[in-house]
Amino acid sequence: MIEDNKPTALIMIFGATGDLAKRKLFPSIYRLFQKEQINKFAVVGVARRPLSNDEFQANVKDSILTFAGENEKVDEFASHFYYHSHDVSSSESYIQLKEIADRLDSHYQLEGNRIFYLAMAPEFFGTIAEQVKEQGLTDTNGYKRLVIEKPFGHSFESALELNEQIRTAFNEDEIYRIDHYLGKEMVQNIEVIRFANAIFEPLWNSRYISNIQVTSSETLGVEERGRYYEKSGALRDMVQNHILQMVALLAMEPPIRLTTEEIRSEKVRALRSLRPMKKDEVNQYFVRGQYAAGTLNGAQVPGYREEPMVDPDSNTETFVAGKLMIDNFRWAGVPFYIRTGKRMDIKSTKIVVQFKDIPMNLYYKTEETLHPNLLVIHIQPDEGITLLLNAKKTGTNMKSTPVQLSFSNKGTDRINTPEAYERLLYDSMRGDATNFTHWDEVALSWKFVDSISNYWESTKETSFPNYESGTTGPKSADELLEKDGHSWWPVENLDLEGNC
């Protein structure tokens, strides 16, 4: 059941001295506090390094000033934070953690509600879940919920093993698997655009849609995460989770009700319809890339193989482009093209829905430039929607020109737009699991991705590095669409300022 009143909870953050806690979690809890969406709460930070409560509170304040950009009531906010130095692999200190939790529960009247937020390396996820149960931290009168960060496994097998471990302590409806893309405003908007507009849903199928393109490009390189990324690559890091989640939202059937269960079950059905690939078909549907040195924003940047903790002969992909086919009645024959990569020319996530030309266009096609109708969903950094239509060119004799109808979130209340983590934390406190991934979605996504990664790992890509930093990726990504008579819509030109 979703609680609508101000939720109360004791939030235990495992990994409270880490990067995620500092950059995302503390500022998000602060914003909920500042907006008075929560008032009865306490946070226990857990990590190994020795810190007093005062030192930890000072770190929290520092994070708010740096990443939330405000300091109103920051002392009062930080006073809700406590610290417990604890090695999560040792069972003894969970007993002290339980004592702290029980004390804070009664001090702040938290009704026994507990959130266990795992902001740590994934190898600890299973142990923590088992220990909090064994040491009695989950024996509480209120709710107990596990919020778990990515990566959720490395393959279907490892994800299954992890899932079985955490299920010994938490039921599926108590597990909140974070996919931060599901907290983004415009990702949440996909359903509304589709299902609240009479003009789209009737056209949302293979009769009217030519292809759908999902691009998530980054300018950042692998930074300090070489150790993790070497074992992950772009396929596991971005496609298995964020990109397939966006595809599921675009492809799913309308749910019969807007409940967590119904929405998830439609997403699962869409993921089940993904066309599986045999080994010898992978190259037909997917291409991979790895960045070389290049120039980005005027500065010289190193290639992937020169990054710290990266093998100088690495076979890891930093770019993926693929063609997904969804073999069901609605989508038969419509390719969903996806691409994502690091060190590309711009930071941008966009969805472009390209509609088919209508026969009338033969009549109006007076110029080679006649534009197909496009619906562009701008996920980030700009947020909004653009619809590209054709209209009469002023003063000419029935010549057409593309025109845009644009909506930008910037113009409304962007300042108050909650960040992804803020929404997701709030949802987990309210018991709304809609924007978290269910095990069935995770399992299907891994099975799909495994068929590609197993093949890629067994074959050395001799062309690596195959794209320069600061570009749109390897040529093979363009060729993938050219084979079908399509091409990528250039995301940098499909902006909300009217350029196309």
Ligand X SMILES: NC(=O)C1=CN([C@@H]2O[C@H](COP(=O)(O)OP(=O)(O)OC[C@H]3O[C@@H](n4cnc5c(N)ncnc54)[C@H](OP(=O)(O)O)[C@@H]3O)[C@@H](O)[C@H]2O)C=CC1
> What residue 49 binds from ligand X, ligand LXAUTJHC, none (CB within 5 to 8 A, per partner kind)?
ligand X
Q: Taking Cα atoms as reference points, which of 64, 59, 63, 61 lies closest to residue 75?
A: 61
Burial code (b: 16+ CB inside 10 Å, e: under 16) for 121-156 equals ebebbbebbebbbebebbebeebbbbbbbbbbbbbb
CB 321 within 8 A of CB 338: yes
> Among residues 120 and 334, whose Cβ is nearest to ligand X?
120
Q: Is 180 labelled a binding residue?
A: yes
174 contributes a contact to ligand LXAUTJHC by CB under 6 A: no
- The distance of closest approach from Cβ of residue 360 to ligand LXAUTJHC in the complex, given in angstroms and rounded to an integer, is 39
Which C-beta is closer to ligand LXAUTJHC: that of 219 or that of 361?
219
The verdict on whether 107 is a catalytic residue reads no
| Shortest separation between residue 218's beta carbon and ligand LXAUTJHC, angstroms | 5
Where are the extended beta strands (E) located within 112-208? 114-118, 144-148, 175-177
Amino acid at 142: G
CA distance 81 to 71: 16
Residue nearest to ligand X (CB): 18
Bridge partners of 289, per DSSP, are 319
The two three-digit tokens of residue 191, written as one number: 């359903």
Is 144 marked within a binding site?
A: no
Residue 237 annotated as binding site: yes
- Contact call for residues 46 and 13 (beta carbons, < 8 A): yes
Is the CB of 373 or the CB of 435 nearer to ligand X?
Answer: 435
Q: Which of 80, 242, 378, 438 is catalytic?
A: 242
Binding mask 209-248 for ligand LXAUTJHC (x = CB under 6 A): -------x-x-x----------------x-----------
Binder of residue 17, out of ligand X, ligand LXAUTJHC, none (CB less than 5 to 8 A by kind)? ligand X
Question: H helices of 358-438, where?
Answer: 361-364, 420-430
Minimum distance from CB of 47 to ligand X (Å)? 3
The whole-angstrom separation of Cα 320 and Cα 396 is: 44
- Shortest CB 94 distance to ligand X, Å: 11
Enumerate residues 6+ apart whose C-beta is below 8 A from 274.
324, 325, 326, 327, 444, 448
- Per 3-state DSSP, the chain is made up of helix, strand and coil in percentages (nearest 5) of 40, 20, 40
Indicate the helix (H) or strand (E) that contains 405: strand 400-408
- Report the residue number, 380 or 476, with the smaller CB distance to ligand LXAUTJHC: 380
DSSP annotation of 153 reads -
The listed partner (ligand LXAUTJHC, ligand X, none) that binds 218, CB under 5 to 8 Å by sort, is ligand LXAUTJHC
Q: How far is the CB of 227 from ligand LXAUTJHC (least distance, A)?
A: 13
179 is in an annotated binding site: no
With beta carbons less than 8 A apart as the criterion, state whether 460 and 315 touch. yes
Secondary structure element (H or E) that encloses residue 249, with its range: helix 244-251
CB 341, min distance to ligand LXAUTJHC, A: 11
* Residue 87 site contact among ligand X, ligand LXAUTJHC, none (CB < 5 to 8 Å, cut-off depends on kind): ligand X
Residues of this chain that interact with ligand X (CB under 6 A) are: 15-20, 23, 47-49, 86-89, 119-122, 149-150
88, interface contact from ligand LXAUTJHC, ligand X, none, CB < 5-8 Å by kind: ligand X
Distance CA 8, CA 473 (A): 46
Size of the site for ligand LXAUTJHC (CB under 6 A): 5
Contact of 138 with 390, CB cutoff 8 Å:
no
Residue nearest ligand LXAUTJHC (C-beta atom): 237
**Annotated binding-site residue numbers:** 15-22, 48, 87-88, 150, 180, 184, 218, 237, 342, 347
Catalytic residue positions, numbered: 242
- Binding residues for substrate, as ranges, are 180, 184, 218, 237, 342, 347
Residues that bind ligand LXAUTJHC (CB under 6 A): 216, 218, 220, 237, 349
